[in-house]
């Protein structure tokens, strides 16, 4: 009993000691876990406070150094700032401040990219890109332009820069600056003009196609090469026999090439064809689609200067939009404003090049690229009389022949002066006068006046070629006879005023007839968008604003209308899956609707046909220079359809083999990805938009900087609702801004800016227009009174 009792007592003591030990063991674990949770919560609170503190102040009062009077900034429900000042100097100072509030990080990256200075904050990953932009010399071209601006324009540019700097000096910068450890330098007028030059670069020219033409002419039989030219060159030189030693594939392997589908739609309709009896205008420029938007919408007022529309972040004024008397929009003309020149190098002095029998000294520009976490890179840029030597980015270009680039945008140009004038135009005459200063890039301007005038002008500095075929290939840099012969006189540029048809439309299509006395371009966009716009306008006798918006969202595929019967006729696929897919295509309404399977089949089929025709014969690095390959492929298909003999079609095995193989491959790959029942496939499952942020590829940042899952989207590259996509189906190019206006109510514009106004991911205006962009919903912005929070800027 005692023993037993003693045993129980002993066991009780053991249990008590064990519990005491457990409490001792649990206490530090509990505290460690508690501290961890506390630190995590504190980190979340810190990050939350840190990111919120850099949100711009949009209400209240802020002192802004340099102002001479009070400025009011009202932000409406869509985040559009309406800035009202007493003087232009105060207005542009405030515009710089407000742009920086919403888009400072975008502005910082833009000036770095255009100047070739990304490596300072990114590292070696962007070194080749920086080398290219240092070679191209956009910032050097901006310096030339800066020198020709009048004093009053320089004062406004400086006021804008002062406003940007006032923001950077007084307000917390957005989190991206801390993420990339960027301490931004003060903003300068040169930065604004450099960004302007970058936009000219983005809209580009055709030097890549000249390089491609040279390559195929040098590597394929003459007739095969000419078949891929955008225009068949009667009697053009085959190869520049006395310009040997140039390897196009190697020399241009790392060149930065703008997006091929940088185009746009615009049209203007006379009051004789509208329900209101006044002109209506529509514009939707097609550029890259990302977060933040390439466009920033604003409303600016100072005395008689009152204008509303969009501008590129980092630049003053309004480039596209309207005032109470006029509205305007643009598309890219796409003229031959870039010309490659073969340059013969002096074997005894690599800095000299031949011209008319004598060696000329090139300009040598010493460039130093700072590289984050790496050594500085020294490079010498050579500029001949024609422009920078771009082959091999001037490094290692040791052959006897190199390529230089002559380009109108590398000259001094005065676009900002043009913008300031057209912003204040009250009729076509004053608007056209302003256009005389808009030199690069060349743009198709459409105009609608409150007085009833509609007009069009293909505007800009466009070179004169003695022989239009010269623009197809690089020219001899050593021959004076191969120089441009000046520029098309301003008064002789293509112009239309109040046409009998009652409308003017452009969609990067050919804008001149064959009897026009000057050469514009060999490289026009496929005609489908323009044809569809004209077709819709012809079918409307009393156009309304709703009609204009519907037209911008139209997804009828005229490429499919033209080619689908021919493709179906030449398809010999026999499998059950293929037959089901063919039957669906026969029943298609020819709309690129996101819910339909047929657009998915058709577009990937067309891409497959291109692969069958070229992939086995043309290196991938050279295919990147094959600008306009889709237009060329269309021409080869037309040639075959209409009974002609296409050498490239025969080379690839004949039309039936090419078309059938491409179709079978497309169906097989789609079945693997989306299942064995083609009726369940959807265009939008592949073709979707995300508006990605440039930093979203870093770690988990996509969760914060991107909107979430991509949105299925209708349209394609060939529909009026333009939606270009990459090889993964992600829509990365299209109408990042849409705009329509009825001049009967000229104070009101109807807009959508995808994905939103703000570049700050914590802002309510960061992605608030994304669904509007996808669904085609517009917001109204008025030059009259608006409602919203008001920020007062005081001296």
Task: Quote the crossing angle between the two packed helices 428-435 and 415-423, to the nearest 10°.
Answer: 170
CA dist., res. 482 & res. 462, Å (int): 16
Exposed, middle or buried by CB within 10 Å (0-12, 13-18, 19+), for 150?
A: exposed
Residues whose CB falls within 8 Å of the CB of residue 640, separated by 6 or more in sequence, listed in order: 646, 649, 655
Whole-number pLDDT of residue 14 = 42
Instruction: For residue 286, give the 3-state DSSP assignment.
Output: strand
| C-alpha Rg value of the chain to the nearest Å | 30
Whole-number pLDDT of residue 646 = 95
Cis preceding linkage at 441, omega within 30: yes
**Sheet containing 443-449: which strands, arranged edge to edge?**
60-63, 789-794, 71-75, 81-85, 295-302, 305-312, 320-322, 326-332, 443-449, 454-459, 495-497
C-alpha dihedral sign at 268, 273, 279, 283? negative
State the average pLDDT for the chain: 91
Whole-number pLDDT of residue 255 = 83
CA dist., res. 416 & res. 301, Å (int): 17
Residue 239 confidence (pLDDT) above 60: no
Whole-number pLDDT of residue 647 = 97
User: Which 3-state string (H, E, C) describes 639-660?
Assistant: HHHCCCCCHHHHHCCCHHHHHH
Whole-number pLDDT of residue 258 = 78
Tokens of 205: 């020219």
Q: Let me know how long the chain is.
A: 795
pLDDT digits (tens, 9 = 90+) for 114-151: 999 999 999 999 999 999 999 999 999 999 999 999 99
What percent of the chain has a predicted confidence (pLDDT) above 70? Answer: 90
Residue 663 confidence (pLDDT) above 50: yes
- Running DSSP on this structure, what letter comes out for residue 757? S
Of 659, 650, 782, residue with least CA distance to 227: 650
Start-to-end Cα distance in the chain: 98
Q: The tokens 């340099």 sit on which residue?
A: 66
At residue 532 the predicted structure's pLDDT band, cuts being 50, 70 and 90, is very high
Residues whose CB falls within 8 Å of the CB of residue 718, separated by 6 or more in sequence, listed in order: 526, 528, 529, 557, 558, 559
Tokens of 750: 């109807």
Between these two residues, 235 and 313, which has the higher pLDDT value?
A: 313
Pairing relationship of beta strands 789-794 and 60-63 according to DSSP bridges: parallel
At residue 37 the predicted structure's pLDDT band, cuts being 50, 70 and 90, is very low
pLDDT digits (tens, 9 = 90+) for 640-661: 999 999 999 999 999 999 999 9
- Running DSSP on this structure, what letter comes out for residue 793? E
At residue 48 the predicted structure's pLDDT band, cuts being 50, 70 and 90, is low
Average pLDDT over residues 281-301: 96
pLDDT digits (tens, 9 = 90+) for 302-354: 999 999 999 999 999 999 999 999 999 999 999 999 999 999 999 999 999 99
Residues whose CB falls within 8 Å of the CB of residue 733, separated by 6 or more in sequence, listed in order: 259, 261, 262, 286, 287, 288, 289, 722, 723, 724, 725
What percent of the chain has a predicted confidence (pLDDT) above 90? Answer: 83
At residue 234 the predicted structure's pLDDT band, cuts being 50, 70 and 90, is low
Whole-number pLDDT of residue 18 = 42
Average pLDDT over residues 356-361: 98
Average pLDDT over residues 23-49: 46
Average pLDDT over residues 780-794: 94
Residue 42 confidence (pLDDT) above 80: no
Question: 17-26, 395-404, 779-788 — which is least confidently predicted?
Answer: 17-26
Q: Which stretches of 675-795 are DSSP H helices?
A: 683-686, 702-705, 770-775
The H or E element spanning position 73 is: strand 71-75
Whole-number pLDDT of residue 702 = 85
CA dist., res. 634 & res. 515, Å (int): 25
pLDDT digits (tens, 9 = 90+) for 618-630: 999 899 899 889 9
User: Which 3-state string (H, E, C) describes 345-375?
Assistant: EECCEEEEEEECCEEEECEEEEEEECCCCCC
Q: The tokens 């394929």 sit on which residue?
A: 220
Tokens of 43: 């980190």
Tokens of 373: 């976490």
Average pLDDT over residues 706-731: 94
Whole-number pLDDT of residue 713 = 98
Neighbours of 661 (CB within 10 A): 19
| DSSP labels, 395-428 | SS--SSEEEEEEEGGGS---HHHHHHHHHT--SH
At residue 448 the predicted structure's pLDDT band, cuts being 50, 70 and 90, is very high
pLDDT digits (tens, 9 = 90+) for 155-195: 999 999 999 999 999 999 999 999 999 999 999 999 999 99
Of 749, 528, 577, residue with least CA distance to 680: 577
Q: Are 156 and 92 in contact (CB under 8 A)?
A: yes
Instruction: For residue 506, give the 3-state DSSP assignment.
Output: strand
C-alpha dist (Å) from residue 705 to 173, 290, 698, 699? 16, 11, 10, 11
Average pLDDT over residues 272-286: 98
Whole-number pLDDT of residue 696 = 87
Residue 3 confidence (pLDDT) above 80: no
pLDDT digits (tens, 9 = 90+) for 576-586: 999 999 999 99
C-alpha dihedral sign at 653, 654, 658, 664? negative
Of 406, 404, 405, 394, residue with least CA distance to 350: 394
Does the pTM surpass 0.85? The reply is: yes
Residue 706 confidence (pLDDT) above 70: yes
At residue 521 the predicted structure's pLDDT band, cuts being 50, 70 and 90, is very high
Whole-number pLDDT of residue 795 = 96
């Amino acid at each position: 009993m005692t023993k037993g009792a003693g045993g129980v007592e002993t066991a009780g003591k053991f249990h008590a000691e064990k519990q005491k030990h457990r409490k001792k063991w649990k206490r530090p674990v509990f505290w460690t876990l508690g501290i961890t949770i506390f630190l995590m919560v504190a980190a979340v609170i810190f990050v939350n406070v840190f990111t919120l503190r850099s949100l711009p102040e949009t209400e209240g009062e802020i002192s802004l150094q340099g102002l001479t009077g009070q400025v009011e900034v009202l932000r409406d429900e869509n985040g559009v700032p309406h800035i009202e000042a007493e003087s232009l100097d105060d207005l542009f100072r405030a515009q710089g401040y407000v742009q920086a509030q919403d888009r400072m990080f975008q502005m910082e990256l833009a000036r770095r990219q255009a100047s070739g200075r990304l490596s300072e904050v990114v590292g070696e990953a962007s070194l080749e890109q920086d080398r290219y932009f240092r070679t191209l010399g956009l910032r050097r071209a901006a310096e030339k332009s800066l020198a020709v601006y009048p004093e009053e324009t320089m004062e406004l540019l400086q006021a804008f820069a002062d406003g940007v700097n006032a923001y950077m000096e007084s307000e917390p910068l957005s989190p991206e600056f801390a993420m990339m450890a960027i301490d931004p330098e003060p903003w300068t007028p040169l930065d604004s003009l450099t960004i302007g030059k970058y936009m000219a670069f983005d809209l580009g020219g055709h030097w890549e196609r000249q390089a491609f033409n040279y390559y195929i002419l040098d590597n394929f039989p003459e007739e095969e090469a000419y078949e891929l030219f955008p225009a068949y060159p009667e009697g053009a030189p085959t190869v520049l026999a006395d310009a040997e030693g140039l390897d196009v594939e190697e020399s241009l392997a790392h060149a930065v090439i703008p997006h091929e589908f940088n185009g746009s739609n615009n049209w203007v309709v006379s009051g004789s064809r509208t329900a209101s009896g006044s002109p209506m205008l529509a514009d939707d420029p097609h550029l890259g689609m990302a977060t933040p938007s390439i466009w920033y919408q604003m409303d600016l007022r100072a005395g008689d200067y009152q204008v509303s529309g969009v501008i590129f972040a980092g630049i003053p004024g309004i480039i596209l939009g309207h005032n109470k008397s006029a509205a305007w929009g643009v598309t890219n003309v796409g003229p031959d404003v870039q010309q490659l020149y073969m340059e013969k190098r002096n074997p005894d002095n690599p800095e000299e090049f031949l011209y008319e029998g004598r060696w000329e000294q090139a300009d040598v520009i010493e460039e130093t690229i700072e590289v984050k976490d790496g050594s500085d890179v020294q490079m010498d840029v050579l500029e001949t009389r024609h422009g920078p030597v771009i082959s091999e980015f001037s490094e290692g270009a040791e052959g006897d022949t190199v390529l230089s680039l002559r380009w109108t945008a590398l000259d001094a140009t005065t676009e900002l002066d043009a913008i300031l004038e057209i912003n204040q135009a009250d009729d076509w005459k004053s608007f056209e006068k302003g256009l005389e200063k808009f030199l690069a890039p060349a743009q198709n301007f459409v105009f609608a006046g409150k007085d009833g005038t509609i007009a069009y002008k293909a505007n800009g500095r466009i070179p004169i070629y003695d022989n239009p075929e010269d623009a197809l290939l690089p020219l001899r840099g050593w021959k004076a006879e191969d120089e441009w012969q000046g520029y098309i006189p301003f008064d002789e540029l293509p112009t239309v005023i109040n046409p009998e048809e009652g409308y003017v439309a452009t969609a990067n299509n050919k804008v001149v007839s064959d009897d026009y006395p000057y050469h514009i371009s060999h490289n026009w966009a496929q005609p489908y968008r323009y044809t569809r716009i004209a077709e819709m306008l012809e079918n409307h006798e009393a156009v309304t604003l709703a009609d204009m918006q519907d037209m911008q969202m139209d997804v009828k595929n005229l490429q499919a209308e033209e080619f689908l019967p021919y493709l179906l006729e030449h398809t010999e696929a026999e499998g059950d899956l293929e037959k089901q897919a063919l039957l669906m295509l026969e029943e298609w309404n020819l709309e690129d609707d996101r819910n339909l399977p047929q657009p998915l089949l058709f577009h990937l089929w067309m891409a497959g046909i291109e692969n069958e025709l070229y992939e086995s014969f043309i290196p991938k690095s050279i295919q990147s220079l094959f600008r306009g390959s889709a237009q060329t492929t269309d021409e080869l298909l037309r040639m075959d359809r209409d009974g002609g003999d296409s050498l490239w079609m025969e080379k690839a095995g004949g039309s039936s083999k090419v078309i059938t193989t491409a179709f079978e491959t497309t169906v097989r790959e789609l079945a693997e990805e989306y299942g064995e029942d083609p009726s369940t496939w959807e265009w939008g499952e592949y073709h979707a938009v995300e508006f990605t942020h440039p930093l979203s590829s870093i770690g988990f940042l996509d969760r914060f900087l991107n909107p979430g899952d991509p949105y299925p989207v209708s349209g394609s590259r060939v529909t009026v609702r333009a939606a270009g996509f990459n090889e993964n189906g992600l829509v990365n190019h299209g109408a990042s801004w849409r705009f329509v206006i009825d001049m009967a109510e000229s104070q009101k514009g109807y807009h959508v800016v995808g994905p939103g106004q703000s570049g700050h991911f914590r802002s309510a205006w960061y992605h608030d227009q994304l669904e509007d962009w996808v669904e085609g919903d517009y917001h109204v912005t008025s030059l009259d009174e608006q409602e919203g929070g008001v920020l007062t800027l005081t001296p």
